[in-house]
Structure 1
Amino acid sequence: MIYYAKNAWYIRTTSVRDRMVELNQTINWIPKAIRDGRFGNWLEHNVDWALSRERFWGTPLPVWTDGHGDFLCIGSIAELETLCGRSLGEIDLHRPTVDDIVFQHPDNGREYHRVPEVIDCWFDSGAMSYAQWHYPFENHDTFASHFPADYICEAIDQTRGWFYSLHAISTLVSDCVAYRNCVCLNHIVDADGKKMSKSQGNIVDPYDVFDHIGADPLRWYFLARLAPEAQKRISTDIVAEVASSFINTVWNTYAFFILYASLDDVSLDGNVSDAKRPEIDRWVLALLYRTINLVTTALENYDARGAGGAIETFTDQLSNWYVRRNRRRFWKSETGADKQSAYLTLYTCLDVLHRLMAPFMPFLADEMYQNLVRSQQADAPISVHLSEWPKADPNWRNDELLGSIAVVQQVVALGRAARESSRVRVRQPLSRLLARLPDDRTTQAVIHHKDQILEELNVKTLELVARDAELVRYHLKPNLPRLGARYGKLIPAIREALATANGPTFAAAQAQRETSILTVAGQEITLGPDDFLVETTAAEGYSSAESEGFLVALDTRLTPALEQEGLARELIRTVQDARKQANLEVSDRIFLRITGSLDIENTLGVHRDWIMKETLAEKWVEGSIDGAFSIEHRLDQHNWQIFLARKQMT
């Protein structure tokens, strides 16, 4: 490649450089760093725009010359028609026909020909704000109502392309910005972060994603899972994970409602006032109120990822807390205000949820809309995309209740972590949960919701403790990367002082992000919360977990009665699995028989009625069951066999 210095046509953008920099400060950039970083630096070091190109294709440069140093820039077709004395309406004003337009100047009589250059194509893209309305020749009102644009969106390389050409032309022509908001995206690459290339063989065929996974999971991944500035790594496996996690959760929650609403032939006309709904209904509506506001605010600020995060958080709470904790309200056969409230609340949540998702996942949202809304309301808009955006009902707001349930969930999460570390099975009941709480507010929340916590953790009793000496032991160590340079030779003494310091006091200070005073070799030194490390071990017979001032411990010692109840829960689970394997409907009643080892028989003697109730067993059969589905199970030293058959309706 050989470079030549050649004459070219320029736009003197340096004359408005300071104004472009000033106007750039008024644009809302997403991410914000682009404004003063990549784009701002480009503007501050602006050079004149080399406008012309020596090519055949492109918009012809509208400059005519007499060949002796005089040039005319033509401003409109009408001006050119006046100069050449004929209509140009039937002529394609591109090369080569535009080069045949020659005229004699009325003032000097010399013949003028068009210069051979065409215009940089980026000028075309930058002029689109004006060109799309044929402004300033017509459509003045239309142009005024559409300019500047509310937002534009492109990849980061356009900071020197389209973003710049729009900004430069609008500054020169209108002395204002061309766009108010700009979403600047990073590039799409393969799963390993490499640029896609045919020669590398790492191109992801979008139709493989569309056909096998769907377009909506891909849209959700790009919009809701990744920040604009994040590298867009893509593969079918990555998109499949989105479908198998979040989207499956949405669909399963929706399917749960559809299944039981159809079985009960539920009517959504009978309202239950908010004040009369159970606390858990009021909680999820309060969470819905907050979610609508969060999503709306985020999208109004072009924060798609923030909006998506709020939707995913709500979906997780709706499925894994509200629906899970309320299944029995939908399962029970009797009707009433409580069951109606459950249906109305879940319907409201799903109705809002699919509308919030619509800008992200248009196909899934519309599928839900057609079934949830259009099937019930003949006069509803034909698509969710023509319906109203959800509005948060002020009556749903309840920040105090949201705070209380957040405390409950914090305690439950720590209890689950403690159980996991103890390796005691989830279905095994335990006798005691001991909890130390950071303040009066959290204490009252736990007391008020004690039954929920015990049910969630499968524990019999809850005890609040002021001191945790019997629950956990602390071991304090210096954080050497932080303290080494500051104290040098004093580190061994600091290590020794921390080993004998009051562990609970230092741990509590760290949890509250407060400083601690440590006496070392006769002097006091101040330690920040990141200057030392806290290791904990549970006392014998307990399993504990701690975070942010909360500490919970499970008494893991088992009595024969607890072990027997745990075995009964395992029997219930395996019968439910057998129902699925036998292809029974969720509402089918069954005949049931279980046989097994001595411990199994003893457990059945105590818990048979409970097992039958939980598994919809209409009758316990001691002998054989005609046409029964059977399956065997083993757990530790226990073994049992299940026989079940659908009760035939008469």
Structure 2
Amino acid sequence: MDYSLTLNLPKTKFPMKANLVQKELELIEFWEQNRIYEKMMNRRADNGSFILHDGPPYANGHIHIGHAFNKILKDIIIRSKNMTGFQASYIPGWDCHGLPIEHEVDKKLGPKKQQLSTYEIRKLCREYAKKFVDIQKKEFQRLGVFGDWDHPYLTMDPEYESAIVREFGRLAASGGVYRGLKPVYWCSFCQTALAEAEVEYADHTSPSIWVKFPVRSGFREKFPDLANQASKCSVLIWTTTPWTLPANLAIAVNPDYEYAACQVDDEVWLMAKDLVERTMNVAKISEYQILKTFAGGALLGIISQHPFYERESPIVPAAYVTLDQGTGCVHIAPGHGQEDYEVGQRHGFSPYAPVNQEGKFTSEVQYFAGLPIFKANPEIIRLMREQGTLVFEETVVHSYPHCWRCKNPVIFRATEQWFISMEKNDLRAKALEQIRQVRWIPRWGENRISSMVSDRPDWCISRQRSWGVPIVVFFCSSCQYPIMDREVIEHVADLVAKEGIDIWFQREPKELLPDGFTCPRCQSAEFTKDMNILDVWFESGVSFAAVLEKRPSLRFPADLYLEGSDQHRGWFQSSLLTSVGTRGLPPYRSVLTHGFVVDGEGKKMSKSAGNVIAPQEVIEKLGADILRLWVCSEDYKDDIRICDDLLRRLSDAYRRIRNTCRYLLSNLEDFDPQTDRVPFDQMEEMDRWILHRFQELIARVRKAYEDYEFHILFHGLHNFCTVDLSSFYLDASKDRMYTRGKSSLGRRSGQTAMYEIILGMVKLMAPVLCFTAEEIWKYLPGAKDLPESVHLASLPDPKAEYLDSDLAERWETLLQVRAEVAKVLEAARAAKVIGHSLDAQVSLILTDPKLYDFLKKYKELLPTIFITSSTTLEQTESAPSDAEGYTRSGLFDQLFIKVTHAEGEKCARCWKYSPLVGKAAEYPDLCATCVSVLKSMPDQPSNELQPAVEQGESSR
């Protein structure tokens, strides 16, 4: 007789092979056709709303792995919040203006650009941005990201553009916006000012020079004892930007440091005392003498001479001068540095910057007019060498600011720009106070953004480009008075909302101003427009006003902003400053920061290094759920590594989770949760134990979702599948699941536990493995009574009635004993005493009465726990002799274990050995238990479905 037909072998239509690449596309279509996201939004939300505001990615190019990580992380949060009683909508956004897009259009146009109007260039930029919005939208959807994709926010939409204009108007009306001549980051290749957030630091090779500024006057009066050396006395400075020397107007020293007059040959050099030795070593000067030391304050008022111009350079105080490098004497060019500018303001120096927008010296610069500044460096050095003011030169590789777009080095250049004042209306102080009211994840984010806000200069918000939202300011043609009235700006904003921002470039001022408007100062009716555009960080920064305050499903402030750590100086900060400046509050309650995605060795990804991993390629090869599992498995607080080897390991982990779920399903093929469930108090103890363990997992996973600790969630789920289920419970349950009667209490008890686990587990994994969870959902017993999508279900809550600490403690001991027995079983297998563990009889001798009494209560269950045919239990006062062949447990000192081949014959149905095999004449090759089961069977079970094949199942 074929006894396999009498077994309850696992069966399921749920496929073993995931085929995620194809299956995910089918599930995306299912979500779209059945409007699952919309239904999720329309569910009752007992906990109210949760608002995660999307930071807009740039509409330029395909998404990269960093985009994928960020969007998946957000999606996990959105899905988990919706499954825990919140209404958590997701409105995706795109940053559509700015230099990167205009730069790409410029490259495509080439020389043709000169023939086009600003409006025509803007039209091409708009088309370019729209193209990549559509491309990125599809790529984000392919990741499984839920959201209102039909109604995203775009910074180039008229409604959004009008909000930008209004927020500028609010800040201007408060007096927080001003126009000034100040040094700002300037890219001479893109020919525009840049914000700090648009500057990246990279290695750059610069000349490093030490230069003499001959003393012209004041030295004799200050140091009469050195009067004889005054004629050959110089102040020694050090710089890595020789091109700024034509703009030098002063030298700064720190009044509190000690300085020295050093004799070198017949000259005297003035510098900080603590830097003398280092300077002489660098300049390879071994013969020198310190003539005198004095406080830096003694140098104030001395007038030096420019090293190659007939121009004075006075010595002034500056507390920022340090002894970290150089000479302690800093050359001051107020038009080419923020600190230099501030020194200049205190002492009445103009921000002189004789460099044009192309990065070339202007005609007023003697010797170097028309030269690009970096190409002028060697010429300036040559001139100083000829004039005897160059002491020493070398090159240095150092971190230097570069343009984020064109990757070329930038400069500080004083130009007329628009700024938001950090001091007016106490914006800096208010922002710092509000930072303390926000929850920062990780906590170090608070210190990071606080230090940035504390130290930052006024915000330069003007750009000299075409593609963006203009600064809505008019100038009176007669008296040049700037028109920044709130009513005028609101009037323009209304026009923009109706017709788009391009009207600023197409219409005359009188067509944009209210009817009959005249200059409030001189009553002129003639005006010009400011043609600068706003910093794109201002545009995205006011998304709280354009999106949070406008969309019905959103609100201000948001519960969470979530971006990479570079956004402390970018979107997090621009949003904070604009919101505090106009609302007095931050736009967010919490800010979560993740690290950068790097390769397997922790190195930055780049095409040149050949270590780029594109999300599109991973999806085409492995599926989006593997990427989602990667996001969940990594602790995002640090940089996140990804490589082929890591993805392979995650694919293995995914298969273990999937196969565990499949095996659970395969044991539930004949289970109806409406009729076959066993009450908890009637379930077998092993089933009650696994449900206790599962409740602990539920609590741990829910807390991980709540705390955004997704790596804890991943490890918890994976360990439960591999350790609690696969390595023990499912293996130990096979005998009763396969060999007992189909409707027996023991089998139905196991099925009840397995159903509870698979139902809860698929919900727990749904926010992460959104595709796989949806696929499993359709195969659950009683699926017709469940919501049509797992994403319309709720995360399970731990059931208090399933939690039993005493039970857990007992089973912890049982599993410890099992682990000790397993070691001896393995040794017996290696010695060929047994083949499979079912060949074994385990004999236990205990000299510990307490442990003996405990195990005696489980005597009938021990073979199931050990997965052996039989177990004997004996208590003795003394340990067995060595000759008896027992092994002392390493964990339980009074436990002794022996494995022998089980007695009796092997049952042809359950494969256990028993002395009772063959006692029933009609079933000569079966044990008594199997005979009893077969006699109770009404007829032979059908075998319609394909049996599930799982790792380790062949032993059955």
Q: TM-score range by the shorter chain?
A: 0.5 to 0.7
* Match in the other structure for 1:45: 455
* Match in the other structure for 2:643: 235
2 CA distance for matches of 1:312 and 1:381?
A: 26
Matched, 1:131 2:538: no
Give the AA of the match of 2:571: W
Q: 1:34 to 1:2 in 2, by over 3 A?
A: closer
Of 444, 455, 466, the residue aligned with 1:56 is 466
1 CA distance for matches of 2:874 and 2:439?
A: 53
Q: How far apart are residue 219 of structure 1 and its match?
A: 0.5
* Match in the other structure for 2:731: 324
* Match in the other structure for 2:595: 186
Q: How far apart are residue 97 of structure 1 and its match?
A: 1.5
* Match in the other structure for 1:257: 664
Q: How far apart are residue 123 of structure 1 and its match?
A: 1.2
Q: How far apart are residue 60 of structure 1 and its match?
A: 1.0
Matches within 5 A, 1:76-475: 79-80=490-491, 91-94=499-502, 97=505, 100-102=508-510, 105-107=518-520, 108-110=522-524, 111-132=526-547, 142=552, 146-223=555-632, 225-245=633-653, 247-262=654-669, 264=670, 268-316=674-722, 317-334=724-741, 335-372=743-780, 376-378=782-784, 380-413=786-819, 416=822, 427=837, 429=840, 448-449=857-858, 455-456=865-866, 460=871
Q: How far apart are residue 73 of structure 1 and its match?
A: 2.3
Of all paired residues, the percent bearing the same amino acid is 23
Q: 1:243 to 1:403 in 2, by over 3 A?
A: farther
Q: How far apart are residue 255 of structure 1 and its match?
A: 2.3
Q: How far apart are residue 161 of structure 1 and its match?
A: 0.9
Could you say which structure has the greater relative contact order, defined with CA pairs below 8 angstroms and 6 or more residues apart? 2
Q: 1:92 to 1:115 in 2, by over 3 A?
A: same
2 CA distance for matches of 1:466 and 1:40?
A: 70
Q: 1:413 to 1:388 in 2, by over 3 A?
A: same
Q: How far apart are residue 378 of structure 1 and its match?
A: 3.2
2 CA distance for matches of 1:435 and 1:253?
A: 36
Give the AA of the match of 2:473: V
Q: 1:567 to 1:9 in 2, by over 3 A?
A: farther
Q: Structure 1 regions of 5+ residues with no counterpart?
A: 472-539, 576-588, 593-603, 619-643, 645-650
Whether the 8 Å contact between 2:431 and 2:580 is mirrored in structure 1 is yes
Q: How far apart are residue 401 of structure 1 and its match?
A: 1.5
Whether the 8 Å contact between 2:540 and 2:575 is mirrored in structure 1 is yes
Superposed CA offset, 1:334-376 (max 9, x none): 1222211211220111001001111001100001111116xx3
1 CA distance for matches of 2:476 and 2:852?
A: 91
Q: Secondary structure, in 3 states, of the residue corresponding to 1:181?
A: strand
Whether the 8 Å contact between 1:74 and 1:80 is mirrored in structure 2 is no
* Match in the other structure for 1:505: none
* Match in the other structure for 1:27: 438
Q: How far apart are residue 452 of structure 1 and its match?
A: 5.6
Give the AA of the match of 2:500: D
Q: How far apart are residue 470 of structure 1 and its match?
A: 11
Q: How far apart are residue 421 of structure 1 and its match?
A: 8.7
Whether the 8 Å contact between 1:405 and 1:445 is mirrored in structure 2 is no
Q: How far apart are residue 256 of structure 1 and its match?
A: 2.3
Matches within 5 A, 1:593-608: none
Whether the 8 Å contact between 1:434 and 1:554 is mirrored in structure 2 is yes
2 CA distance for matches of 1:207 and 1:445?
A: 57
Whether the 8 Å contact between 2:629 and 2:769 is mirrored in structure 1 is yes
Q: 1:100 to 1:258 in 2, by over 3 A?
A: same
Q: 1:567 to 1:18 in 2, by over 3 A?
A: farther
* Match in the other structure for 2:427: 16
Q: Secondary structure, in 3 states, of the residue corresponding to 1:320?
A: helix
2 CA distance for matches of 1:466 and 1:7?
A: 97
Q: How far apart are residue 303 of structure 1 and its match?
A: 2.1
Whether the 8 Å contact between 1:407 and 1:446 is mirrored in structure 2 is no
Q: Secondary structure, in 3 states, of the residue corresponding to 1:184?
A: strand
Whether the 8 Å contact between 2:475 and 2:482 is mirrored in structure 1 is yes
1 CA distance for matches of 2:570 and 2:610?
A: 29
2 CA distance for matches of 1:436 and 1:99?
A: 99
2 CA distance for matches of 1:435 and 1:39?
A: 63
Give the AA of the match of 1:289: Q
Give the AA of the match of 2:474: W
Q: 1:260 to 1:40 in 2, by over 3 A?
A: same
2 CA distance for matches of 1:251 and 1:356?
A: 13
Q: 1:178 to 1:280 in 2, by over 3 A?
A: same
* Match in the other structure for 1:527: none
Give the AA of the match of 2:436: Q
Whether the 8 Å contact between 2:476 and 2:519 is mirrored in structure 1 is no
Give the AA of the match of 1:42: M
Q: How far apart are residue 66 of structure 1 and its match?
A: 2.4
2 CA distance for matches of 1:464 and 1:27?
A: 63
Q: 1:417 to 1:129 in 2, by over 3 A?
A: farther
Alignment TM-score, normalising by the size of structure 1: 0.65
Q: Secondary structure, in 3 states, of the residue corresponding to 1:47?
A: coil
Q: Structure 2 regions of 5+ residues with no counterpart?
A: 1-408, 912-916, 919-923, 935-953
Give the AA of the match of 2:639: Q
Q: How far apart are residue 326 of structure 1 and its match?
A: 0.7
Superposed CA offset, 1:529-567 (max 9, x none): xxxxxxxxxxx9847645xxx6687657x7xxx2x4599
Q: How far apart are residue 448 of structure 1 and its match?
A: 4.9
Give the AA of the match of 1:198: K
Whether the 8 Å contact between 1:545 and 1:552 is mirrored in structure 2 is no
Across the aligned residues of Structure 1 and Structure 2, the Cα RMSD in angstroms comes to 4.3
Whether the 8 Å contact between 1:185 and 1:229 is mirrored in structure 2 is yes
Q: How far apart are residue 124 of structure 1 and its match?
A: 1.3
Alignment TM-score, normalising by the size of structure 2: 0.46
Give the AA of the match of 2:659: N
Q: Secondary structure, in 3 states, of the residue corresponding to 1:9?
A: strand
2 CA distance for matches of 1:266 and 1:217?
A: 32
Whether the 8 Å contact between 1:284 and 1:322 is mirrored in structure 2 is yes
Q: 1:388 to 1:212 in 2, by over 3 A?
A: same
* Match in the other structure for 2:33: none
Q: How far apart are residue 227 of structure 1 and its match?
A: 1.0
Q: 1:554 to 1:112 in 2, by over 3 A?
A: farther
